Amino acid sequence: MTLRDIINKLLRRQPASASTARERLQLVLAHDRSDLSTELLDQMRREILEVVAKYVEIDMDEGAVSLETEDRMTALVANLPIKRTLNGQIKLIEGSNQLKENSQEAEDKDKGS
Amino acid sequence: MATDTRVILICSGKGGVGKTTLTANLGISLARQGLSTAVLDADFGLRNLDLLLGLENRIVYTAQEVLEEECRLDQALVKHKKESNLSLLPAGNPRMLDWLKPDDMKRIVDMLKEQFDYVLIDCPAGVEDGFKNAMAASQEAIVVTNPEVSAVRDADRVIGLLNTNAIKPVQLVLNRVRPRMMANQEMLSIADVTDILALPLLGLVLEDEQVIVSTNRGEPLTLNSVNSPAAKCYLNIAKRLQGEDIPLINPAEESSGFGAKFRRLMQTKIF
């Protein structure tokens, strides 16, 4: 955060447009590079959730599948909080601290195009 | 006869970002360093390189007649009147697009390679056949972009295609940089663009009204107005292509005085 950002916040002005441009570009490029539309990504998200749900109980509303790009490498990142396994022995999720750990396991990285 | 000719594609995806201006000025700058240079207008649909070089009235034959073997290559090449190391191979008729194939472009470039140190290919905008034909004949590429979302997005598409076609090295030229807007964080910064596109920066070109003046006259900036901000940038790019280690211009230092100091203070990272 720069001095300008702070002053803009204090004066409730819009932030400088360069950061908006950067964020919008990163999002649109992640989709361009993978050649996936929002609908296809959403369909994939639902199908991934269905497959994972066959093995572990997950929170269907919390699950997020997104594309993240760094250094021209696009990663498919699935963040799926697990409630418990189907045999009920291990309860994997209680608080938000654990949520982070578990989701790490569910992270699925794939090299994009 | 040149033995290790460098064939460089100058492309951008988006139109109007400065491909042709860069081709013309780079051609002049390399020729001034004593390198025999050919500029090839591969934009058959909307050719303009002849106009920027001031050679539009001296075209007799084009790449089309060369390919159809109606003339020899040296009959079609237009030598620049003020810079004899530079020659233009003009684009043919737009109807060429109906039959032109990647192999045709390779044939033209192979002929040019026999007598030039550098072949610069001015690529058409877009990522369709015109671009693919031009890419087929190229070894390396310079991607030109502006610090604007649409130009950067289109550059990214082009870089993806260059990478899959094993064109390398691919280097970036960031054109039409406005130091003041960058300082105010109202324009994507140099780091923003190079981070997003993940390409080495060959150079940046400052926004300069003289570019329009030079276009009006048909005399590239690097020919006469070597002290204009953009001309210096073009000359630096040509030297870097030749392997010289020329430091990049820091846009923040381009504007000086109290105003610039204040803007620098404003963009200091606090946390």
Contact at CB, A18 and B189, closer than 8 angstroms: yes
Is B191's Cβ below 8 Å from some Cβ in A?
no
Q: How confident is the model at residue B260 (pLDDT cuts 50, 70, 90)?
A: low
Q: Is the pLDDT at A89 greater than 70, yes or no? A: no
A22 to chain B: which residues are within 8 Å by CB? 188, 192, 196
Cβ contact B189–A17 (<8 Å): no
Do B270 and A2 make contact, defined as CB atoms within 8 angstroms? yes
Q: Chain A contact for B153, CB < 8 A?
A: yes
pLDDT 10s digits, B114-124: 999 999 999 99
Q: What are the residue boundaries of the structural domains of chain B, listed by start?
A: 6-266
Closest CA to B26 of B129, B130, B144, B125: B144
The band of A35, judged by pLDDT with boundaries at 50, 70 and 90, is confident
Question: Strand B118-122 relative to strand B140-145: parallel, antiparallel, unpaired?
Answer: unpaired
Contacts with B163 from chain A: Cβ below 8 Å: 72
Contact B157 A32 (CB under 8 A): yes
**B220: closest CA among B37, B22, B48, B46?**
B22
A51: exposed, middle or buried (Cβ count in 10 Å: 0-12, 13-18, 19+):
exposed
Residue B141 host element (H or E) = strand B140-145
ipTM above 0.90, yes or no: no
**Distance, CA of A2 to CA of B269 (rounded, Å):** 4
Q: Dihedral through CA A23, CA A20, CA A18, CA B221, nearest 10?
A: 80
**Per-residue pLDDT tens for B71-113?**
999 999 999 999 999 999 999 888 888 899 999 999 999 999 9
- Given a cut of 50, whether residue B258 has pLDDT beyond it is yes
Residues B158-216 have pLDDT tens digits of 999 999 999 999 999 999 999 999 998 999 999 999 999 999 999 999 999 999 999 99
The residue in chain B having the minimum alpha-carbon distance to the alpha carbon of residue A72 is B198
Across the interface, which of B153, B159, B163 has its CB nearest the CB of A28? B153
Q: What are phi and psi of B158, to 5 degrees?
A: -65, -40
Pick the CATH number of B6-266 from 3.40.50.300, 3.40.50.620, 3.90.700.10, 3.40.50.1970: 3.40.50.300
Local confidence band at A77 (pLDDT 50, 70, 90 cut-offs) = confident
